[in-house]
Amino acid sequence: MKDTQSIVSALAAYRQFIERIDTICGQIAARAAAAITCHEGCDACCEAIGVFPVEAVYIALHLCPDQPPDPDRIRSNSGLAARGPDTHCPFLENHRCRIYPVRPLICRTQGMAFLVEEAGERRLIHCPRNFQGMTRFPAEMLIDLDKMNASLIRINQAFLQEMGEAFHVPERVPLSALRFR
């Protein structure tokens, strides 16, 4: 098993990536101002999701910083979590996120406007509660979802390669697999 310092080092690219995403989202939120109605306590989008292993390890390390994440336990808990019917995020308590500082990328970008490609066409998607009445979106207010996800996939692959075989957990780890820590 890798020690905590090795894991923290391997997470550096992911930390830098989410810092860039947080900056982008902050700039968009400042520019869009009143058009974004998401606020502290809004949990309409908070669901039980699966995250990439790099995100799972980042969250697990936050939940138990004095102990390196155990990939065997994550694998085992992933199997148990996959059977559960719960659709609510296991880290949501009283409309607040217990892992907010280390929340996954999808949670960091909730509420933003995304450009996606489907069937060869690019289209805009966003939370129906946000951007009401807006008919035009300046390019600097849009996040290219495919590009963002491609970056996350590359970072996840590099993380897994650096961590070695022991950290090959399921491709997507249910958040509920981490609540047992």
pLDDT tens across 111-126, in order? 899 989 889 998 888 8
Residue 158 has a pLDDT of 95
- Is 80 exceeded by the pLDDT of residue 16? yes
From the CA atom positions of the chain, what is the Rg in Å? Answer: 17
DSSP sequence for 113-165: EEEEEETTEEEEE--TTSSTT-----GGGEEEHHHHHHHHHHHHHHHHHHH-G
Residue 65 has a pLDDT of 84
* Averaged pLDDT of the chain: 86
Residue 180 has a pLDDT of 55
> Beta-carbon neighbour count of residue 175 at 10 Å?
25
Residue 40 has a pLDDT of 76
Average pLDDT over residues 39-61: 89
Most confident of 14-18, 56-60, 134-138, 160-164: 14-18
Tokens of 88: 């609510």
- Is 60 exceeded by the pLDDT of residue 37? yes
Q: What distances in angstroms separate CA 80 from CA 61, 84, 130, 175, 179, one per listed residue?
A: 20, 7, 35, 12, 12
Most confident of 29-38, 90-99, 133-142: 90-99
Residue 181 has a pLDDT of 45
Average pLDDT over residues 169-180: 80
pTM of the model: 0.88
35 or 180, which is more confident?
35
Residue 85 has a pLDDT of 56
Contact at 8 Å (CB) between 95 and 51? no
- Is 70 exceeded by the pLDDT of residue 81? no
> Beta-carbon neighbour count of residue 64 at 10 Å?
13
